[in-house]
Amino acid sequence: MRFLVDRCAGHTLADWLRGQRHDVIESRDRGDDPGDLIILQWAASEQRVLITIDKDFGELVFKEAKPHCGLVRLPDVPAEKRIELMTRVIREHEEALSSGALITVRGGRVRVSRESR
């Protein structure tokens, strides 16, 4: 699977995903933060699922209908829990991720939304 990991989601998560043989890039490797819209555009143009803890991406996708290739939101998930929760998301929702779903993990609960892209 192809992922773009937002800087707020963490380098440790990105390294773990690489160790699981996923194709991963990190927004932090591209320099200063260009803003949420540009990061979402990068992910969409490169056909990557964006992983973030930032709630603003949901607004860009839901309210502004910006193009995307899937989004995993981990708001309020402590850094030490992100790998555990991403393991679950990938294991239980791989098909949804591959089809561009928006997945939000909050308090151990996973919500999958299938919005048009």
Lowest mean pLDDT among 17-26, 43-52, 97-106: 97-106
71: left (phi over 0), alpha (psi -120 to 50) or beta: beta
pLDDT digits (tens, 9 = 90+) for 30-85: 989 899 999 999 999 999 999 999 988 988 998 899 999 999 999 888 888 999 99
Say how many domains are in the chain. Answer: 1
Domain that holds residue 51: 2-113
pLDDT at residue 117, as a whole number: 46
How far from the centroid of its chain's Cα atoms is residue 87's Cα? Answer: 13
